[in-house]
């Protein structure tokens, strides 16, 4: 019996080797070079070509190699099998580290100084007063990020689909309360999953509810944001700046106006990258669970989309 790693365009030697060490009696194969597709019982998947799981007639479960499962669920021919995803303290720590860096970048006005440097301008400024952070999505990552910033001295509000009671975080729920969740925010961080409900959720109306000095950070998925509406909102001064780690189309096209916009900071989807060494044990555990027919760790609700 075997595990197929279906993660195109990525070097998989390290993952293959570590999984092999954890499961010495199981064949670990890199798709599309499979010894016998009928032997594959478990697939570790990221951005799979649509349809590629259908030939695996004995597949028992699908393990997403990241936290967000949108690219996996987008396959219209996805077999009706349990799907699990990565939940990992190391991933959460990486996300917090990235966001801490970005918030401090803006607090210290490094965006302004970087533009001044390009013009050889020497104009000191004191730090921006960033007091209130709003976090959209209060799941594994959003909840930890909200707590982190509260612990660093910020007022924090959060928004989720269902009502939450998180100590010290002012929680809002449902589309009707989105505007309230961000109304007082100096920084808004998006950590929502991409689902049919959240696609294009953050558009003209949303950006109109922000404070004109607000900074928007998207570390979730690009398609949650209407990029044209964001650019228009920046142009009319509905918000001050945006830091984008994720895009509707990745890599971001060299023709995108986002690259050149002075109020946009771009990073190439690096805020929290799955750490092979810390996730191997949960993948191996899920393989054993799938073989035994037990519930997977970190299951995904395929109907809800996250
Ligand atoms: P999660 O645990 O599934 O949490 C999702 C949160 O979003 C939950 O609080 C959920 O509300 C809320 N939500 C879902 N649909 C909503 C809606 N329609 N309206 C309001 N709130 C809604 O996800 P996670 O592990 O925190 O990860 C979040 C996302 O981060 C992932 O899906 C992925 O796309 C992205 N990500 C990006 C990177 C990167 O490198 N850029 C790395 C990792 C993850 P409930 O609590 O009420 O269900
Ligand atoms: C990365 O984007 C992830 O979803 O893990």
Q: Does the Cβ of 67 fall within 6 Å of ligand 2? A: yes
Residue 20: domain span: 2-88+274-292
Tell which atom from ligand 2 comes closest to the C-alpha of 65: 5
Q: Does the Cβ of 274 fall within 6 Å of ligand 2? A: yes
Q: Does the Cβ of 156 fall within 6 Å of ligand 1? A: no
179 and 39 part of one domain:
no
Tell which atom from ligand 1 comes closest to the C-alpha of 138: 9
The DSSP bridge partners found for residue 27 are: 2
Q: Does the Cβ of 94 fall within 6 Å of ligand 2? A: no
Top mutation candidate among 46, 64, 67 for ligand 1, by most atoms within 8 Å of CB: 67
Tell which atom from ligand 2 comes closest to the C-alpha of 246: 2
What pLDDT, on the 0 to 100 scale, is given for residue 27? 98
CA 193 to ligand 1 centroid distance, Å = 4
135 and 179 part of one domain:
yes
pTM of the entire structure?
0.98
Top mutation candidate among 45, 64, 66 for ligand 2, by most atoms within 8 Å of CB: 66
As for how many domains the chain has, the answer is: 2
48 and 108 part of one domain:
no
105 and 80 part of one domain:
no
Top mutation candidate among 84, 148, 160 for ligand 1, by most atoms within 8 Å of CB: 160
CA 87 to ligand 2 centroid distance, Å = 10
- What does the chain come to in residues? 306
User: Going residue by residue through the chain (306 aa), what tens digit of pLDDT does each one get?
Assistant: 999 999 998 999 999 999 999 999 999 999 999 999 999 999 999 999 999 999 999 999 999 999 999 999 999 999 999 999 999 999 999 999 999 999 999 999 999 999 999 999 999 999 999 999 999 999 999 999 999 999 999 999 999 999 999 999 999 999 999 999 999 999 999 999 999 999 999 999 999 999 999 999 999 999 999 999 999 999 999 999 999 999 999 999 999 999 999 999 999 999 999 999 999 999 999 999 999 999 999 999 999 999
109 and 250 part of one domain:
yes
Measure the CA–CA gap between 212 and 233, rounded to whole angstroms.
9
- Give the residue among 137, 92, 79, 86 at the shortest CA–CA distance from 302: 79
Q: Does the Cβ of 147 fall within 6 Å of ligand 2? A: no
24 and 163 part of one domain:
no
Measure the CA–CA gap between 245 and 8, rounded to whole angstroms.
21
Q: Is residue 302 part of a domain?
A: no
Q: Hey, what are 203's tokens? A: 């558009």
21 and 59 part of one domain:
yes
Q: Is residue 283 part of a domain?
A: yes
Please give the positions annotated as active site.
Answer: 221, 269
Q: Is residue 107 part of a domain?
A: yes
180 and 203 part of one domain:
yes
Measure the CA–CA gap between 121 and 113, rounded to whole angstroms.
8
CATH number for the domain that contains residue 104: 3.40.50.720
Please give the full DSSP string across 64-128, using - where no structure is assigned: ESSS--HHHHT-TT--S--EE----HHHHHHHHHHHHHHHHHHHTTHHHHHHHHHTT-----PPP
54 and 187 part of one domain:
no
């Amino acid at each position: 019996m075997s595990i197929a790693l279906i993660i195109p365009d990525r070097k998989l030697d390290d993952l293959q080797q570590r999984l092999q060490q954890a499961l010495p009696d199981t064949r670990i194969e890199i798709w599309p070079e499979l010894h016998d597709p009928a032997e594959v019982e478990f697939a570790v998947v990221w951005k799979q070509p649509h349809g590629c799981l259908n030939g695996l007639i004995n597949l028992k479960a699908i393990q997403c190699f990241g936290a967000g499962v949108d690219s996996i669920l987008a396959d219209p021919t996805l077999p009706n099998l349990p799907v699990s995803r990565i939940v990992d303290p190391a991933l959460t720590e990486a996300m917090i580290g990235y966001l801490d860096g970005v918030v401090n970048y803006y607090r210290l006005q490094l965006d302004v100084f970087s533009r001044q440097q390009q013009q050889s301008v020497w104009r000191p400024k004191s730090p921006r007063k960033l007091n209130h952070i709003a976090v959209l999505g209060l799941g594994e990552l959003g909840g930890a990020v909200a707590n982190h910033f509260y612990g660093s001295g910020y007022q924090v509000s959060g928004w989720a689909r269902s009502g939450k009671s998180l100590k010290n975080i002012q929680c809002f729920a449902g589309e009707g309360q989105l505007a309230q969740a961000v109304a007082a925010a100096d920084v808004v961080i998006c950590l929502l999953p991409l689902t049919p409900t959240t696609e294009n959720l953050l558009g003209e109306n949303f950006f109109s509810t922000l404070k004109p000095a607000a900074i928007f950070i998207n570390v979730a998925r690009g398609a949650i944001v209407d990029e044209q509406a964001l650019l228009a909102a920046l142009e009319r001064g509905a918000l001050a700046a945006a830091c984008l780690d994720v895009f509707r189309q990745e890599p971001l096209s060299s023709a995108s106006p986002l690259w050149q916009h002075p109020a946009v900071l771009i990073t190439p989807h690096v805020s929290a990258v799955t750490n092979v060494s810390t996730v191997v044990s949960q993948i191996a555990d899920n393989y054993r669970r799938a073989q035994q027919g037990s519930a997977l760790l970190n299951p995904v609700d395929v109907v809800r989309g996250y």
